[in-house]
Amino acid sequence: MRRSAFVGILSLLLAGGCTTQEQAYVTDVTAFDPDHTAIVRMENHRANNYGELKIFLRTDDRFTEDSLTVRVVTFTPDSLRTEELHRLILPRPKRINALKQILEIPYRRSVRLQHEGTYYFSLTPTRSVAGIEAVGIRFSTE
């Protein structure tokens, strides 16, 4: 009996150690075009946090794009600012006649968030896009 309890506890500990922690931060948008920027606020509770950033979009049936270029401006807690253009290659819908879907696109791998605090991501498309309801950032720790 003791041996089976020990094996069960050990299995739970090992399974828990293999999971990654994910956090998603999202903002709803009424329009997603060059005049309407989506600002995503992300809280980081650990200094020197390593992980992967993904951009995700929640779309409706009006969305028909296969790629989209967005301007990503990042503001860090220590007041640094970076800006870049990033082209999103969007996967095809996984279902026929998908009314709503969530598209998740890799943005940055092996990211190190050096400081605790609030990071802001400003995402602006270079052209008008119909059918986007929400824009977000997903952070997965390694």
**Is the per-residue pLDDT at 43 higher than 60?**
yes
Read off the pLDDT band of 7 (50, 70, 90): very low
Tell me which H or E stretch contains 8: helix 2-17
Mean pLDDT across 14-31: 75
Judge whether residue 25 has pLDDT over 50.
yes
What average pLDDT does the structure give for the chain?
Answer: 85
What gap in Å lies between CA 51 and CA 53, rounded to an integer?
7
Distant-in-sequence, close-in-space partners of 80: CB < 8 Å, separation ≥ 6: none
Pick from 106, 112, 98: which is nearest to 142 by CA?
112
pLDDT at 22: 86
Q: What is the pLDDT of residues 80-107, one digit of tens each?
A: 999 999 999 987 766 565 567 888 999 9
